Structure 1
Amino acid sequence: MSEGEAAEVREFWGRLGLPGLVDVHTHFMPERVLRKVWAYFDSAGPLTGREWPITYRRAEGERVELLRAFGVRTFTSMLYPHKPGMAVWLNGWSAGFAARTPDCAHTATLFPEPGVAAYVRDAVEGGARVFKAHVQVGAYDPGDRLLDPAWGLLAEAGVPVVMHCGSGPAPGKHTGPEPVERLLARHPRLRLVVAHMGMPEYTDFLGLAERYPHVHLDTTMAFTDFSEATVPFPARERGRLAGLGDRVVLGTDFPNIPYPYVHQLRALERLELGDDWLRAVCHDNGARLLAPL
């Protein structure tokens, strides 16, 4: 990392009068799992289908220091299982990572399997401040009845869940707004954070956020040149985006992004929704969402 890159990021939030950034969607996971994720991106796998260079392919400690140099005050360790029996192990790793990395909000995950409610309760009681659910990679219906007790527990506890549920970069059997709407009908108090703004079903997920006051949207990769080239955000929806300014939160997908970190911030700035909106999105909303319970 050049000093110039860190200076650009810090200039962005400094100009807004912020103390730094809160990024709700960053990835830290066990090394062997992350290596497999990177290998998938390197192969232009079927879910991506395009060249996807990893900009921040660094050792774990270097990646943490990069975020600190950028002025990211709070970040997450988004991780997710793709099969039964994996979530408990991942949760154990992430608890250890949070313990040695105090600026990382303790992150946990889940999967539709027997015992999910018990290990979700253990994670919440152990201090988890945010959960990650990946409907596309996990290939499960978020409305699976095995998950009902876990969703109810998280709704009651007020712990947010960042869910990749949109059909980008490729649709899955259970992606899209319909499964999520069925879930919210049963658990309307669930603090759901729709990853990637629900890309490419932006309009539908904006509608869900308007109907359900606990639904948030994260900006991960949305509005960037990389995403706009194939799944542009509809210009006609910018007004609705402005209206949800208290429930849009900064997410980036660091380190697995094919462009510099500052580009996500510049992409938000060029929406021209104003400095108050940027302050809320880049710090205030995320700080409130990830505040210790």
Structure 2
Amino acid sequence: MNDHPPAPGSRTSPEGATSDVSLVAEAGEIRRFRERLGLAGLVDVHTHFMPERVLRKVWEYFDAQGPLTGGLEWPITYRRQEAERAAVLRAFGVRAFTSMLYPHKPGMARWLNGWAAEFARRTPDCLHTATLFPEPDVEAYVREAVEAGARVFKAHVQVGAYDPADELLRPAWGLLAEARVPVVIHCGSGPAPGKHTGPEPIARVLARHPGLRLIVAHMGMPEYEDFLGLAERHGQVRLDTTMAFTDFSESFMPFPRRALPRLAALGDRVLLGSDFPNIPYPYVHQLHALERLGLGARWLRAVCHDNAAALFGL
């Protein structure tokens, strides 16, 4: 695995972006982390690639500290062009990643899925990602995406401002459960609550579709214990670590230390997620935040690679 990021190229903006020198140092630090665990690579189930004009809008929202950011200062650490961002992940030893993308209104999802399918074709180490929204044609385009080879879906209850138990989504959830395609879903109320965030709407979805492979993003922040409970009751529910346990998130939505034994017990259903490139700290900090939980090398190896590798057949 090449530990050297790409040579400098044109960037969307220099603000908040890391330098190439610091990326080389960070790649070395991540390599040493992997070596401590005996891992040749990482699998990150929560990284964002989307059409450039959409991603620029997302970055502008973070820069403006929009309401869904909780009003937090949120510099984008890896504000680079698409090819550079993919090369950075490879330099960090990420052997598989996703193109998490999501609509905020009807009529976007099918177009986003078309873009994501093309991105997956030209990016072999990206797991073909798709998305959905409660709208009349959702079952049709979800079926199209699955038949085209989508391996993971993204649902964003907070940004989409929809009820995941909406009747319009019922056939799509059923289709995804039957196809055993995982869905990374932002459904917790962090960093700012939405009308339909929290564990209760997800519990209603799971009551109808107990076989649905939901991956709860951000560990369900801040309703960590409620979502741990859903995972304990539903064998197909998993959680991703995105931004959880980091100094940034611990400063305003700390993970309760009393829940660490439950987290350890669910070690086969916790997956590494990062939110790259939209994170306000270096990528390696997510890895160190997991390491300092003190749950052991076996747990950490499973979270950073083995669980996702088994789930996606890597």
Report the Cα distance in structure 2 between the residues aligned to 1:7 and 1:66, rounded to whole angstroms: 12
Report the Cα distance in structure 1 between the residues aligned to 2:24 and 2:45, rounded to whole angstroms: 24
Report the Cα distance in structure 1 between the residues aligned to 2:102 and 2:219, rounded to whole angstroms: 19
C-alpha RMSD over aligned residues: 0.7
Partner amino acid, structure 1, of 2:260: R
Q: Is 2:132 the partner of 1:110?
A: yes
Aligned match of 1:31: 52
Q: Is 2:100 the partner of 1:91?
A: no
TM-score (norm 2): 0.92
Q: Is 2:296 the partner of 1:265?
A: no
**1:190–1:215 contact (8 Å) kept in structure 2:** yes
Report the Cα distance in structure 2 between the residues aligned to 1:93 and 1:9, rounded to whole angstroms: 30
Q: After superposition, what is the alpha-carbon deviation per residue over 1:1-49, rounded to whole angstroms, capped at 9, x for unaligned? A: 3311101111111221112000000000000000000000000111110
Aligned match of 2:30: 9
Report the Cα distance in structure 1 between the residues aligned to 2:76 and 2:256, rounded to whole angstroms: 27
Aligned match of 2:11: none
Q: Is 2:195 the partner of 1:195?
A: no
Aligned match of 1:129: 151
Report the Cα distance in structure 2 between the residues aligned to 1:4 and 1:36, rounded to whole angstroms: 30
Report the Cα distance in structure 2 between the residues aligned to 1:253 and 1:217, rounded to whole angstroms: 14
Alignment: residue pair count: 292
Aligned match of 2:68: 47
Uncovered stretches (5+) of structure 1, i.e. residues with no partner: none
Report the Cα distance in structure 2 between the residues aligned to 1:19 and 1:159, rounded to whole angstroms: 26
Correspondence 1:1-293 to 2 at 5 A = 1=20, 2-48=23-69, 49-291=71-313
| Displacement after TM superposition at 1:117 (Å) | 0.6
| Displacement after TM superposition at 1:115 (Å) | 1.1
Report the Cα distance in structure 2 between the residues aligned to 1:137 and 1:274, rounded to whole angstroms: 35
Report the Cα distance in structure 2 between the residues aligned to 1:15 and 1:229, rounded to whole angstroms: 28
Partner amino acid, structure 2, of 1:10: R
**1:14–1:20 contact (8 Å) kept in structure 2:** no
TM-score (norm 1): 0.99
Q: After superposition, what is the alpha-carbon deviation per residue over 1:231-278, rounded to whole angstroms, capped at 9, x for unaligned? A: 000000000000000000000000000000000000000000000000
* Shift >4 Å, 4+ stretches: none
**1:129–1:291 contact (8 Å) kept in structure 2:** no
Q: After superposition, what is the alpha-carbon deviation per residue over 1:199-255, rounded to whole angstroms, capped at 9, x for unaligned? A: 000000000000000000000000000000000000000000000000000000000
Report the Cα distance in structure 1 between the residues aligned to 2:151 and 2:311, rounded to whole angstroms: 9
Report the Cα distance in structure 1 between the residues aligned to 2:68 and 2:90, rounded to whole angstroms: 31
| Displacement after TM superposition at 1:288 (Å) | 1.7
State, as a whole percentage, how many aligned pairs show the same letter: 78
Report the Cα distance in structure 2 between the residues aligned to 1:121 and 1:288, rounded to whole angstroms: 24
Report the Cα distance in structure 2 between the residues aligned to 1:211 and 1:173, rounded to whole angstroms: 25
For 2:267, what is the secondary structure of its paired residue? coil
| Displacement after TM superposition at 1:290 (Å) | 2.4
| Displacement after TM superposition at 1:291 (Å) | 2.6
Report the Cα distance in structure 1 between the residues aligned to 2:79 and 2:200, rounded to whole angstroms: 35
Report the Cα distance in structure 2 between the residues aligned to 1:179 and 1:50, rounded to whole angstroms: 26
